[in-house]
Chains A and B, each alone.
Chain A
Amino acid sequence: MSAVATPAPAPAPQDTPVPVAVRRRARVKTTESGRAQSRRSRRVLGIVAVVLAILWVFPIYWMINSSFLPLNKLQTTRPTFLPIGGTISNFRQVWNDQTFWDAMKISLIVVVIVLVAALIFAFLAALAVSRFRFRGRKAFILTILVVQMIPAEGLFISQYRMLDGWNLVNTAMGLAIVYTAAILPFTIWMLRGFVAGVPIELEEAGMVDGLSRTAAFFRITFPLLAPGLVAAGVYAFLQAWNEYTLALVVMTDPTKHTLPLWLQGLVESNRATDWGVVMAGSALIAVPVIAFFLIVQNKMTAGLVAGAVKG
């Protein structure tokens, strides 16, 4: 699961109006032909970039495209590149599949537990490390960093045995516990940056005006942290929604499958028979997540950057 958990200095928001255009302007010998040449090379690189973009997005296009095609257009010697004359029968088939909804239910329960627990726990811890200096603070932050380096894949068997000992195998609760633990280090890291970003002077001003410490915190700082909590929440959501390995180990009972496990089951029962249905299933799981991800990506990466600064 820590597959995406990264203490990385991260991704830039779409367009930061910083340097970009600079290195062109500053040609030492700026001749007319030199400028034209650099404009041309810029255009050529632009075309290269668009071609690469198409190449990179093609698998996702292909998933959507195939999900709208009937079987006789999928299993032909000549692939259909546009879903013209498409059908939604693939989607209908998944939609009417009870196991899809069962898996959806399990996934949602797990996600909700993880989301609530991870946000509250991480928020409290982030508050402690960014608002206070205390003995053990450095050690705690260091542990958070190092924990993310442990290969989770090396742990799943003993995690399974632990859950088995507590009769939590095949329960949403059991899965949620191991997910939350895996997600916490990174959410703490992220929230720590956000909390540090709210100047304590604001709170102090509130207290000078007669608020109690707690009231000042909840009426002034807390609302300012909303974007950070959203970002951390989205991260937790994506992780819990997408995770496969631990679910595979913990949810052995087919009636307790989460969506990724359900999808793998769908692939295995339809491979070579009906890729359209499989693609519809993938799309139903992926598209909401992708949309979500696109919307909040900026906030999330802002959070990663914030987490990377000293706090």
Chain B
Amino acid sequence: MAVTALVVEQDDGTSPVFPRRRRRRLGVYGLLVPASVLIGIALGYPLIRQFITSFQEFGLKQQFGAPPEWVGLKNYQELLSDPYVWTVIGRSIAFCLVNAAVTMIIGIAFAVLMQRIGRGARVTLQVSLLLAWGTPVLASMTVWQWLFDSQYGVINWVLANVFGMEDMAGHSWIIEPLSFYFVATVIVVWMSVPFVAFSVYAGLLQVPEETMEAAQLDGASQRQRFWNITIPMIRPVLSIVMLLQVIWDLKVFTQIYVLQRAGAPTHETNLLGTLIYSYAGEFSKAGALATIMLVITLALTGFYIRQMLKEDEL
């Protein structure tokens, strides 16, 4: 059965120090039990149960204890024949891709910048990014609401008085869906760029200088070196960071929810996360939509995940 051996010894188990014993075989699994049980109960079970519920009817009768009825794909059919659901799916994917792309571009630009400047400027930029990274989401959301406040917000003031756009005074940013998404994008990008910038910077530091010098001697311009050497060499970092951005930006909830509470029209601004939340009373529908969201996530990221698994030696 299970072959238990220490990492450092070979499988022949000849090490005199740690003789293989049956007891330890069970012991290893014992170490995994607490974590596995907790993850299984609090993540695995809800996931499975939600999947099952999405094929059932869960109405008033069931709330009073009647056993749920199997309805097959009815919940999915209902959702997918609703044009509004499609609108929200489209919006979510667009929002996700735009945010992930903008975050990646700015993050990579910051990382490259960090590499090309002196120590003082670099540390200044890094501390500033760390501050943005470390701020609790809700505190950030609160500050951004104040910055974009229509009446006394500093952004409107700067636009009106510094850039002379006088009609911006008193402008409400979150009433219009497009400008709502603009604000949400600004906030999401502001929060996510530090992670991308630091990860990519760490990747850049690992590109061996000899390679760059050799390319230079062969006459490659700075631009060529960047696109043909640096980018391919840091590709593993880029792809995992990109993957995470897509996952996070697709399921974005807090930012949208808080901005909606600030007075934006919910129907026009819902994304998948907030739409699922709005179904809180209808378990089966919520479950079906959550499953659809999972499928979309996998569709968007499946390629990356497969590639990562292929390359990553666990």
Residues of A within 8 A of B (CB): 3, 6-12, 14-16, 18-20, 22-23, 26-28, 42-43, 45-50, 52-54, 56-57, 59-60, 62-63, 66, 74-79, 117, 120-122, 124-125, 127-136, 138, 140-143, 146-147, 149-162, 177-178, 180-182, 184-185, 188, 196, 200-201, 204, 207-208, 213, 238, 241-242, 244-245, 248-249, 259-260, 263-264, 267-268, 271-272, 275, 278-279, 281-283, 285-286, 289-290, 292-294, 297, 301, 305, 310
Stretch of B77-85, B176-184, B204-212 contacting A (4+ beta carbons < 8 Å): B204-212
Residue from B53, B273, B313 whose CB has the most chain A CB atoms within 10 Å? B273
B253 at the interface (CB under 8 A from A): yes
Kindly list chain A residues whose C-beta atoms are within 8 Å of the C-beta of B71: none
Kindly list chain A residues whose C-beta atoms are within 8 Å of the C-beta of B250: 151
Distance (Å) between the CB of A244 and the closest chain B CB? 5
Kindly list chain B residues whose C-beta atoms are within 8 Å of the C-beta of A294: 127, 130-131, 134
Residues of B within 8 A of A (CB): 1-8, 11, 17-18, 24-25, 28-29, 31-32, 34-36, 38-39, 41-43, 45-47, 49-50, 53, 110, 113-140, 142-147, 149, 151-152, 154, 157, 190, 193, 195, 198-199, 201-203, 205, 207-209, 212-213, 216-217, 219, 222, 236-237, 240-241, 244, 247-248, 250-251, 253-254, 257-258, 261-262, 272-273, 276-277, 279-280, 283, 286-287, 289-291, 293-294, 297, 301, 305, 309, 313-314
- Kindly report which residue of chain B lies nearest to residue A181, judged by CB atoms: B42
Kindly list chain A residues whose C-beta atoms are within 8 Å of the C-beta of B147: 59, 62
Instruction: Check A185 against B39 for contact (C-beta < 8 Å).
Output: yes
| Known A184-B39, A244-B254: A132·B132 in contact at CB below 8 Å | no
Which residue of B11, B34, B305 is within 8 Å of A121 (Cβ)? B34
Instruction: Check A79 against B237 for contact (C-beta < 8 Å).
Output: no
Instruction: Check B201 against A242 for contact (C-beta < 8 Å).
Output: no
Which residue of B34, B132, B213 is within 8 Å of A120 (Cβ)? B34
- Kindly report which residue of chain A lies nearest to residue B116, judged by CB atoms: A45
Interface of A is mostly: helix
Which residue of A129, A150, A157 is within 8 Å of B294 (Cβ)? A150
How many CB-defined contacts (below 8 Å) exist between A and B? 351
Distance (Å) between the CB of A155 and the closest chain B CB? 5
Across the A-B interface, the 7 shortest Cβ-Cβ residue pairs: A11-B198, A181-B42, A293-B134, A154-B290, A46-B121, A12-B202, A53-B128
| Known A56-B128, A151-B250: A272·B42 in contact at CB below 8 Å | no
Distance (Å) between the CB of B275 and the closest chain A CB? 10
Kindly list chain B residues whose C-beta atoms are within 8 Å of the C-beta of A26: 209, 212-213, 216
Instruction: Check A121 against B202 for contact (C-beta < 8 Å).
Output: no
Kindly list chain B residues whose C-beta atoms are within 8 Å of the C-beta of A147: 39, 43
Instruction: Check B17 against A207 for contact (C-beta < 8 Å).
Output: yes
The CA-CA distance from A120 to B118 in the complex, in Å, is 42
Instruction: Check A12 against B198 for contact (C-beta < 8 Å).
Output: yes
The CA-CA distance from A268 to B129 in the complex, in Å, is 28
Which residue of B3, B205, B241 is within 8 Å of A134 (Cβ)? B3
Distance (Å) between the CB of A135 and the closest chain B CB? 4
Residue from B47, B131, B132 whose CB has the most chain A CB atoms within 10 Å? B131
- Kindly report which residue of chain A lies nearest to residue B115, judged by CB atoms: A20
Instruction: Check A286 against B136 for contact (C-beta < 8 Å).
Output: yes
The CA-CA distance from A305 to B283 in the complex, in Å, is 40
Instruction: Check A267 against B198 for contact (C-beta < 8 Å).
Output: no
Kindly list chain B residues whose C-beta atoms are within 8 Å of the C-beta of A63: 139, 142-143, 146
